[in-house]
Chain A
Amino acid sequence: QLQMQESGPGLVKPSETLSLTCTVSGGSIDTRNYYWGWIRQPPGKGLDWIGSIYYSGNTYYNPSLKSRVTLLVDMSKNQFSLRLTSVTAADTAVYYCAREGFTIFKDAFDFWGQGTMVTVSS
Chain B
Amino acid sequence: QSALTQPASVSGSPGQSITMSCTGTSSDVGSYNLVSWYQHHPGKAPKLMIYEVSKRPSWVSDRFSGSKSGNAASLTISGLQAEDEADYYCCSYAGSNASKVFGGGTKLTVL
Q: Indicate whether A and B interact.
A: yes
Query: How far apart are the CA atoms of A95 and B8 in the complex, in Å?
Result: 22
Q: Determine which of B40, B52, B96 lies in contact with A63 in the assembled complex, contact meaning CB atoms within 8 Å.
A: B96
> How many A-B pairs fall under 8 Å by CB?
74
Q: What mask results when residues 78 to 111 of chain B are scored 1 for a CB within 8 Å of chain A, else 0?
A: 0000000000010101001111111111000000
| Distance in Å: Cβ of B31 to nearest Cβ of chain A | 13
Contact of B48 among A37, A64, A109 (CB under 8 A): A109
Q: Find chain A residues with CB under 8 A from B96 CB.
A: 63
Can you list 19 contacts pairing A with B, beta carbon distance less than 8 Å?
A: A37-B100, A46-B102, A47-B89, A49-B91, A49-B101, A60-B97, A61-B97, A63-B1, A63-B97, A101-B51, A106-B34, A107-B34, A107-B52, A108-B91, A109-B36, A109-B91, A111-B48, A112-B45, A114-B44
Q: Is A25 part of the contact surface with B, judged by Cβ < 8 Å? A: no
Rounded to whole Å, the gap between the CB of B61 and the closest CB of chain A is 16
Smallest Cβ distance from B50 to chain A, in angstroms? Answer: 8
Tell me the bound Cα distance from A114 to B99 in angstroms: 23
Please report the C-alpha to C-alpha distance between residue A46 and residue B1 in the assembled complex, in whole angstroms.
15
Cβ contact of B102, chosen from A48, A63, A112, cutoff 8 A: A48
Judged by DSSP, the binding face of A is strand
| Interface residue total, chain B, C-beta cutoff 8 A | 27
Q: In the complex, given contacts A63-B96, A107-B34, A107-B36, what are 17 additional A-B residue pairs having Cβ atoms less than 8 angstroms apart?
A: A45-B104, A46-B103, A47-B46, A47-B91, A49-B100, A49-B102, A52-B98, A62-B99, A62-B100, A96-B46, A98-B46, A106-B52, A107-B51, A107-B93, A108-B48, A110-B48, A110-B57
Q: Is A8 positioned at the interface, with any CB of B under 8 Å from its CB?
A: no
